[in-house]
Amino acid sequence: MFVSVFVTIVGLQVLGQLFTPPHKYIVDVLANYSSQNDATTDELIEDNGYPSETHYVTTQDGYILALHRIPHHSKQQQQQEDTHTHSSSCNSRVVLLYHCFLCSSSEFIMNTPDKALGYILSDEGYDVWLGNARGNTYSRNHTQLSPDNPLFWDFTWHEMGTQDLPAIIDYILEETD
């Protein structure tokens, strides 16, 4: 009995060290707040030493979608160059990263360059394009409708697949041809 009580007490102490109570986590997050928390996708990319471009695509039904691009340009190349001018077309392999529900292009560059997929692919020689679905933070524009108009929000996943993705893919192919 003594052994089982001892093991239980030691086990609880170890578990207590592994799991931080939620209020301590919140205090830690607030104490270590960074201005990067409010940064845009372009700002995050540039803050990590990569070139960034923003492109806009208009779908057939009038939604204006923002695309963020990290043209292939490794950090070593950037350090060796005197200028930060980049051509709009790249001769490298192209990849489109497209976010999931309720997210944006920033999902692929929020982590450190050695852990964020957008940076890793850029370092590996890819011309990285980061898409944004209609209605998210970067794609709340339309040729005729305001996001305050309920008709702006009258779309489904179907339109994202039949309108947004083809427009984005066609635009990227045209820009990188």
3-state helix, strand, coil in the chain (%, to 5): 45, 15, 40
Give yes or no: residues 66 and 14 share one domain: no
Is 73 in the same domain as 112? Answer: yes
Task: Give per-residue pLDDT as tens, 118-160.
Answer: 999 999 999 999 999 999 999 999 999 999 999 999 999 999 9
Please state whether 102 falls in left (phi above 0), alpha (psi between -120 and 50) or beta.
Answer: left
Residues 108, 170 within the same domain? yes
pLDDT category at 38 given cuts 50, 70, 90 is confident
Residue 65's identity, in one-letter code, is: L
Q: What pLDDT does 72 receive?
A: 76
76 and 135 fall within a common domain: yes
Residues 107 and 137 in one domain: yes
Number of domains in the chain: 2
* Same domain? 28 vs 81: no
pTM of the model: 0.72
Residues 23 and 59 in one domain: no
15, 69: one domain: no
- 20 and 42 housed in the same domain: no
pLDDT, tens digit (0-9, with 9 covering 90-100), for 69-117: 999 765 555 555 544 444 444 557 999 999 988 899 999 999 899 999 9
Helix (H) or strand (E) holding 143: none
Regarding whether 45 and 27 lie in a shared domain, the answer is no
- pLDDT tier at 29, thresholds 50, 70, 90: low
Does residue 63 sit in helix, strand or coil?
Answer: strand
**What per-residue confidence (pLDDT) applies to 86?**
46
Residue 9: domain span: 2-33
94 and 137 together in one domain: yes
